[in-house]
A = this chain, B = another copy of it.
Amino acid sequence: MKLKLYADRMSQPVRAVIIFCKKNGIDFEEIRVDIAKRQNLTPEYAEINPMKQLPAIVDGRFKLFESHAILVYLASSFPGVADHWYPADVFKRSKIHSVLDWHHSNLRRGPTTIVRNTVLAPVLGRPLNPEAAAEGEKFLSASLSKIESVWLKGNGRFLLGGNQPSIADLSLVCDIMQLELLGETERNRLLGPYKEVQQWIENTRNATNPHFDEVHKILMKAKEKLQNPRMKGATNEGGGSDMKRTLHSRI
C-alpha cells in the first residue's frame, strides 16, 4: 500500500517531507489538507493527527506526525535512501538530532512569525503586529548567525561539514524559504549579511532539484501575488477576493 502524505505545500515542514520523498524515489499519495479551509480541524483529519497539524503520514497501519520524526522514519524504513540523509553512524546521527532539536527552539520561531505578522497580516484580515515581527526577526538573526558560526563551520557545503545534504539541511532550508513571501527587498535585507547561509540554501536547492523548485512553486506564486497586488485582477485565477481566498487557504 502506497504511503499517504497529508499535505499543504504552503507549510514549510510539508515541503521538506515532499522534497525528501521525491528525491529518494519514495512513492506517495499526496492528500491535500487545506489549512485555511480548516480541513485540518475536521474530525476525519483528527483521526490521522489528533494535534491537527501538518504534515502527517499513514504507512499501512502506521500513523505518524511531526516532520522531523517523519523524515527520520522515512530515511530509516524505505529502501534506497542514501546514508547521508540520516547516517547509520551513531556520532553523525546524533549531531543531526542536535541540529533538528536546536531548530525547534530557534530558527523555527523566525521566518513564520515575521511573515505572518507583516506581509500576510492584511491578506488574512488581521492587524499588522510589528512587535511580534520584531521578535521573529530577533530569532531569525540570532539563528542565522549560529548557523554560520556553528553548523556551517568547516569546509563542507552542508551543515555539520557534510558534502551531501542530510534531513537537517532540508528541514532548515525549507523554513528559511518562507521569507520569499516578503519580497526581494525585504528578504535581501534579512538574508543579505549571511553569505554562507545563502550559498548553503543554493547548495541544498541544487542537490534536490528539480524537486526543490517544483515543490516551492506555490510559494513563488503567492509571493508574486503579494508583491503585485494590482495585478491580482489580471491573473487567470481571478480577482482580489480570489487572491485573498487562495492565500488564506494556504497559510
B102 A73 Cβ-Cβ under 8 A:
no
Q: Which residue of B lies closest to A65 (CB)?
A: B98
CA distance A64 to B50 in the complex (A): 33
A90 B77 Cβ-Cβ under 8 A:
yes
Query: Per-residue CB proximity of A100-123 to B under 8 Å, as 1/0?
Result: 111011001000000000000000
B68 A97 Cβ-Cβ under 8 A:
yes
CA distance A40 to B196 in the complex (A): 27
CA distance A161 to B77 in the complex (A): 23
CA distance A98 to B64 in the complex (A): 7
B105 A69 Cβ-Cβ under 8 A:
no
- Among B65, B76, B93, B102, contact of A66 (Cβ-Cβ < 8 Å): B102
CA distance A50 to B149 in the complex (A): 9
A246 vs chain B, min Cβ distance (A): 27
Given known A-B contacts A69-B101, A104-B104, A150 and B51 have beta carbons under 8 A apart: yes
